Chain A
C-alpha cells in the first residue's frame, strides 16, 4: 500500500512493469533464482522499487545483467558481489551484515530481550512484599504438605 503522497514525486518510473520474456532459456532452478534476485535488487534510479517491478531502462539493464550472469553459471553471491562492487550496498534490499548495519540487524533482537526482561521485572515489582514474610512461607509449606 503506497499512499498518494509519495507517488506524486515518483510517477515516471512506477507506471507498471516491463514484462519481457526474460526467463527464456533458463531451467526451473535458474528461473527461481532469477526471480528471487530481481526482487531483492533495487532499481537505483527509481523511488523504492525493485528491478522486477520497475520498467526504467536501468532496471531493464540490471535484469539483463542478472540473467546473463545466471546463464553463465555464476552463483547468487557472485552476482550480488559484482553488482555491489559497481553500485554499492544501495543496490541490495537485503542489507549486508557489517559494522554499519550492526545496529539495524541486532536492534530488534536486543529490544525484544530488553523489553521482556523489563516486563518480567515489572511483574515482580508489583508483588507486594508483605505477602512474602518468612512466617507466611512456613505456613504455606505446611498447608501444601497437608494437601499432599
Chain B
C-alpha cells in the first residue's frame, strides 16, 4: 500500500502545483492579496507531498518491495543498506522524483526565506516554480512512474548498476541536482522581475545568494562526479567531455557568468536585461541537460526516434518554458533600462568581458555536444566530437578568463587608472612568472612551455586572490581584526578565484607530467615508474556483500621505503554478472599513484599466474578537486554574507513602515 500512497501523493502534488500556478497568477493580474497569499501555502503543501512520495519510494527500497517495478529493476536482497537508499535515484524514474523533491526543497526555502519580499514578487516566483513542478510531475505520472507495480512479483531484484555502488555516487547526484534545480530559483526571480517590471539593486540582492547557493552545489556536484569517475571507471581520467558531463558543465558556465553579472547589476544598476537573460539561459541549459540525458538522444538519434514519448515530452516542455520566457523577455526587457555609463576598463567592464568568454565557452560546448547529433539527424554522415576538439576550443577561451580574474578584482568600479593597476599588479605578475618557471623545474627537472604557461595562469589567479585579502587586511592594526574585517563576500570571491588557480595548476601538472604504464607482472615481480617501485604481491579471491572479487595487492616503495600497500580489485557483481574495475589510489597532496588491475594473463586463469596491470603516476592530481572544493567554500562564504541578511531586515522595516503609511 505504501507505493500507492506515494503514487497518490504525486497526483495530489500535481493538483496542488496547479493551484500554486494559477491562483497566484490570478492574484498578480487582479492585484488580489488573498490570491497572492495562496502561493506560499500551496508551495509548502506541494513540497511536503513530494517529500512524502520520495519517502514512500525510499521505504519500498529499504524493505525490498520487489512488487514495485522500479525497485525490482534497481535493487537486490544482497544490496547493502546505504546503496538501497541511494538506489532511489539510481535510474530514470527515481532520479526524476529526486529532481522534483529537490525542486520542492528549493520552493519551500523560497516560501520561507522570502516572506519579507513584496507579495507579488514572491507569488510570481512561486508560481513559476510551480509551473516547472507541474511539468515534471506530469512527465513522471505520464511516462515514468516510479511506483508502477510488477506482476508476478520476482523473488529478487536485478540489483543496482554496479558503477553506482560507490560512495561518490551516494552524494554526487543530489548535489548536482541541487545545482541544476537551484537555477530555477534565479529563473523564477528573473520572470518575476520581467512580470513586475521592477528590476533594481534590491532585486539583484535577493537573487544573488540564491544563485550563489545553486552554483556552489553545482560546483560540488561536478567535482564529486569527476572524482567518482576517476576512481571507478579505471581509465585514470577525470573528465572526458562526455555529453552527460557537458550537460552539467554548460549551465555551470552560464551560472558562473550570472553570478558575475548579478554583481554588476547590484553594484552599478547595469546589465539588467543581460542578467535576466542569463538567468533564463542558465535554467534553460539545466532543462536541456535533463533532456539530453533523459531522452536517449545522446545514445543515438535513432534511439530517440524509436521510443519518443519521454524525449518528446521534455522537448515540448523545454520549448514551452523557454519559448514563453523569451517572448516575455522580448516584450518586457526593453523596459528594464540600465542607468549609468559603462567603460570597458573598469570592474564592470571586465566582468562584461568575463561574461562574454563564459557564455561563448558554454555555447561552444553546446555546439560540440549537439553537432554530431545534428549532422546525424540531417543524414550528412556520422562524426565524433571528442576531447581533442573541446580542449582545442576551450583553452583559448579559458586562458583570458583566468588572466582577467587577477585584474578584475583589483580594478575599481566605474573607471580605472592604468598606472594604478600596473602598480598593484606588478608584484603578483613577477611572483606568478617566477613560480611558473621555478616550481616545475624544482619538482620535475624540466619545464615545457605549456607547463610554464598553464602554471603562470594558475599562480596568477592564486597570487592575485591572496593579494586581494592581504590588501584589505593590511588596513587593520591586528591580524585578527584584519581577518575578521574582510567581508565574507570578499573572502568568498577570493577563495573561489584562488580555487580556480589551484584547479588550473592541477590540470596543467597532471596533463603534462603524468606517466602511465601497462605492464605484465607475475606475483613477486617489481617494476619501476617515475622513481616508484611497484611490487605485485598477487591476487586473492575475496567475497564481498553482493560481489566476488579478485583482490590484488601491490606494494609501492620510494627510495627503498614502503609508502603504501594498495589493493586494486576486479569485482564480479553476482546479480548482474557485471565486471567492475576498482582502481586503488594512494595519494598525497602532491601526487597520486593509481593502480588498476587488468586481466589474468596466464592460460589456466588461476590466481597465481601473471596479471596485466595499469599503473599511473599523476602529480598534483588532488589539486583538480581541491580547486573545486575552494570554489565551493568560496560560494558558501559569499552566499552567507551578512549584507544579505542585514538588507533583508532593512527591507522588512521599510515594508512595514510603508504599509503603515
Show the binding face of A for B, using Cβ within 8 Å. Answer: 1-12, 14-23, 35, 39-40, 42, 47-48, 50, 52-53, 88-95, 100-101, 103-104, 107-108, 111-112, 115-116, 119-120, 122-123, 126-128
The reply to whether the CB of B338 lies closer than 8 angstroms to some CB of chain A is: yes
Show the binding face of B for A, using Cβ within 8 Å. Answer: 89-92, 95, 161-164, 169, 172-173, 176, 222, 224-229, 233-235, 237-240, 242-245, 247-248, 270, 293-294, 296, 298-299, 338, 340-344, 349, 352-353, 355-357, 359-360, 363-364, 367-368, 371, 375, 380-389, 393, 397, 516, 518-520, 570, 578-581, 596, 598-599, 601, 612-614
Nearest-Cβ distance from residue B432 to partner chain A, whole angstroms:
25
- B579: chain A residues at CB < 8 Å are 15-16
Contact A16 B359 (CB under 8 A): no
A9 and B91 CA atoms in complex are apart in Å by 10
- A42: chain B residues at CB < 8 Å are 384, 386
Contact A108 B363 (CB under 8 A): yes
* Complex A-B: 30 CB contacts under 8 Å: A3-B244, A3-B247, A3-B293, A4-B89, A4-B90, A4-B169, A4-B173, A5-B244, A8-B92, A9-B296, A11-B163, A16-B233, A16-B598, A17-B581, A17-B596, A17-B598, A18-B598, A19-B519, A19-B599, A20-B601, A21-B519, A39-B387, A40-B387, A53-B235, A90-B384, A92-B384, A108-B367, A123-B342, A123-B344, A128-B341
- A7: chain B residues at CB < 8 Å are 161, 163-164
Contact A5 B360 (CB under 8 A): no
What is the predominant secondary structure among interface residues of chain A facing chain B? helix
Known: A19-B613, A89-B384. A48 touches B243 (CB 8 A): yes
Known: A1-B248, A2-B233. A111 touches B383 (CB 8 A): no
- A52: chain B residues at CB < 8 Å are 235
A115 and B400 CA atoms in complex are apart in Å by 14
Contact A126 B342 (CB under 8 A): yes
Select which of A1, A6, A100 is within 8 A of B293 by beta carbon: A6
Contact A108 B393 (CB under 8 A): yes
Contact A16 B570 (CB under 8 A): yes
A148 and B227 CA atoms in complex are apart in Å by 60
A9 and B293 CA atoms in complex are apart in Å by 11
A108 and B229 CA atoms in complex are apart in Å by 28
- B601: chain A residues at CB < 8 Å are 20
- A23: chain B residues at CB < 8 Å are 518
Select which of A88, A107, A116, A120 is within 8 A of B382 by beta carbon: A88
Contact B243 A126 (CB under 8 A): no
Q: Which 4 interchain pairs have the tightest Cβ spacing? A: A93-B386, A16-B581, A1-B225, A19-B598
- B357: chain A residues at CB < 8 Å are 112
Contact A40 B386 (CB under 8 A): yes
A8 and B90 CA atoms in complex are apart in Å by 9
Contact A116 B580 (CB under 8 A): no
- B238: chain A residues at CB < 8 Å are 1
Select which of B270, B375, B578 is within 8 A of A11 by beta carbon: B578
Contact B612 A108 (CB under 8 A): no
Known: A6-B299, A108-B364. A95 touches B389 (CB 8 A): yes
Known: A1-B239, A48-B242. A90 touches B383 (CB 8 A): yes
Contact B381 A9 (CB under 8 A): no
Question: Closest B-chain residue to A123, C-beta based?
Answer: B342
Contact A95 B384 (CB under 8 A): yes
- Of listed A1, A3, A122, residue having the most chain B CB within 10 A: A1
- What would 9 more interface pairs be, CB under 8 Å, given A5-B244, A53-B234, A91-B384? A1-B239, A3-B176, A4-B164, A15-B581, A48-B386, A95-B384, A100-B375, A108-B393, A127-B342
- A127: chain B residues at CB < 8 Å are 341-343
- A1: chain B residues at CB < 8 Å are 172, 222, 224-229, 238-239, 242, 245, 248
A4 and B244 CA atoms in complex are apart in Å by 9
A2 and B454 CA atoms in complex are apart in Å by 26
Contact A2 B612 (CB under 8 A): no
- Of listed A6, A9, A16, residue having the most chain B CB within 10 A: A16
Contact B364 A18 (CB under 8 A): no
Contact B518 A19 (CB under 8 A): yes
Contact B518 A22 (CB under 8 A): yes
Contact A2 B229 (CB under 8 A): yes
A8 and B248 CA atoms in complex are apart in Å by 18
Question: Closest A-chain residue to B580, C-beta based?
Answer: A15
Select which of B248, B344, B371, B614 is within 8 A of A3 by beta carbon: B248
